[in-house]
Amino acid sequence: MMDRMTNGMTKDGKLTATAQLDWLRLIRSENVGPIIFQQLMSRFGTAGAALAALPELARRGGRSRAIKLCSVAAAEAELAAAAAVGARPLASCEAAYPPCLAALPDPPPLIYVLGDVARLARPAVAIVGARNASASAIRYTRRLAGDLSGKGLLVVSGLARGIDTAAHKGALEFGANGGTVAVLAGGVDVVYPTENLGLYDAVSAQGAVVSEMPPGIRPQARHFPRRNRLISGLALGVIVIEAAERSGSLITARFALEQGREVFAVPGSPMDPRCRGSNRLIRQGATLIQDADEVVEIIDPMIQKPALWEDAVGCRQTDVGAAPQALESDRDRQRLISFLGPTAVGVDDLIRLSELTPAVVITILLELELAGRLDRHAGNRVSIS
């Protein structure tokens, strides 16, 4: 790991209070998402230095009005709200941050955890599926989750009705060795659906509840894809049970594929529309599974890879060379912009077509995104607004 990434860290692998505040302010500032956050940290080394550079970077990207930075007061209020509900903030550079999540090139820079943080160090499998699940699927899920937990695997799901609820209950009731984690779309203290309040209490007491949203935030539709990405990111594999053709579970499966994780699917009746999405995953190459042993057979070799679990933690950043701010010229910027349009294009293609260095291209794209002019798409593709 780069020494400049360890600024603001204590000897026990935690951010200092000042560094934590800067870290939170940076990720809560306007137009800063996980990818931009990683690039800023790679370039400037500390969140404080990145915060100071944001206004000029956005201006060079073509922004006419000042970019909105998260204030110290707002960040302090968010941390106080987390402390009030007993939630612990974890930055992606801290030792307790989930190793599987830290292995991503663009992990959530900060998550909140309510419950047993140590559980997050265990190898995990996610279980997702229909909210209106059939009775047989619910019974099957509870037994599968219990068997997986009994084998020491952490069961991750989203606390939703149906399959999610069955997965959490099964892990708690039948096999607490691994335990279970609920990932929420809203704040870590906001239970949705409210009918799962009792289950939420059980999971937080015997496992953990995780969210990357500030405490107190109620879930909205746009939050659920981020929740789904977090579910797959915490796990070595995602099991899909009863997913319709257009289902959030399929979004989770897509994230899993993009993150290099295994995708499993349980076959269902071709007459049941709740199974069409999961059956299609099997046709597309997802691993058909029937019991926990079949999952473990595939997951176990991944667990044995020490690089995934021992070297993941520690601010994995995309190093673009810590280029000086004046590295790119106006001519370079205009040349790159000429290749951008409303149709998404790969970043590698932009580097090849523009004949600019990767560091220059990434810096210009960073400036455009901070200015609110760039949209990112799956497959490392971008388009200009």
Confidence class for position 283, pLDDT limits 50, 70, 90? very high
Reported as a single tens digit per residue, the pLDDT across 197-241 is 999 999 999 999 999 999 999 999 999 999 999 999 999 999 999
What's the rounded Cα separation, in Å, for the pair 151 and 153?
6
Distance CA 73, CA 80 (A): 10
> pLDDT confidence of 304, banded at 50, 70, 90?
confident
18-54 pLDDT per residue, tens: 999 999 999 999 999 999 999 999 999 999 999 999 9
Using DSSP, how many helices (H) and how many strands (E) does the chain show? 16, 12
| Residue 330 confidence (pLDDT) | 85
Over 60: is that where the pLDDT of 322 sits? no
Sequential DSSP letters for 308-366: HHHSS-S----------TTSS-HHHHHHHHHT--SS-EEHHHHHHHHT--HHHHHHHHH
Terminal C-alpha separation, the chain: 35
Say how far apart CA 261 and CA 32 lie, in whole Å: 26
Instruction: Give buried/exposed letters for 20-35 (b at 16+ CB in 10 A, else e).
Output: bbbbbbbbbbebbebb
Q: Does residue 385 sit in helix, strand or coil?
A: coil
Nearest alpha carbon to residue 184 among 210, 222, 164, 217: 210
Percent of the chain past pLDDT 70, that is, above it, reads 91
pLDDT of residue 323 exceeding 90: no
pTM score: 0.89
In the predicted structure, residue 2 carries a pLDDT above the cut 70? no
**Residue 328 above 70 pLDDT?**
no
The answer to whether 123 and 129 are in contact (CB under 8 A) is: no
What are the residues whose beta carbons fall under 8 Å from the beta carbon of 116, sequence distance 6 or more? 179, 206, 207, 208
User: Does the structure show a pLDDT above 60 at 73?
Assistant: yes
Specify the pLDDT at position 320: 36
Among 104-108, 272-276, 293-297, 331-335, the range with the most confident prediction by mean pLDDT is 293-297
State how far the Cα of 91 lies from the Cα of 94, in Å rounded to an integer. Answer: 5
- Tell me the C-alpha distance between 266 and 248, whole Å: 16
Q: With 80 as the cut, is the pLDDT of residue 324 above it?
A: no
What pLDDT score was predicted for residue 133? 95
What pLDDT digit, counting tens, does each position of 127-158 carry? 999 999 999 999 999 999 999 999 999 999 99
Judge whether residue 317 has pLDDT over 50.
Answer: no
Give CA–CA dist 210/230, Å, rounded.
9
Interior angle at CA 78, CA 76 and CA 81, nearest 5: 110
Three-class SS of residue 209? strand
Answer yes or no: is pLDDT of 96 > 90: yes
Segment holding 54, helix H or strand E: helix 47-60
In the predicted structure, residue 68 carries a pLDDT above the cut 60? yes
234-271, pLDDT tens digit by residue?
999 999 999 998 889 999 999 999 999 999 999 999 88
Cβ atoms of 210 and 185 within 8 Å: the answer is: no
Return d(Cα 157, Cα 168) in angstroms, integer.
7
Residue pair 322/45 in contact (Cβ under 8 Å)? The answer is yes
pLDDT higher than 60, residue 375: yes
Q: Given this model, what pLDDT does residue 302 score?
A: 85
Q: Using alpha carbons only, give the angle 336, 319, 262 rounded to the nearest 5 degrees.
A: 100
CA distance 191 to 282: 33
Amino acid 155: pLDDT: 97
Confidence tier at 311 by pLDDT (50, 70, 90): very low
Q: What is the mean pLDDT of the chain?
A: 90
Which residue spans within 177-331 are E strands per DSSP? 180-183, 208-211, 237-241, 262-266, 287-288
> Could you give the domains of the chain?
3-85 (no CATH), 114-310 (3.40.50.450), 330-384 (1.10.10.10)
Residue 126 β-bridge partners? 156, 238
pLDDT band at 308 (very low <50, low <70, confident <90, very high): low
What is the pLDDT averaged over residues 57-77?
A: 95
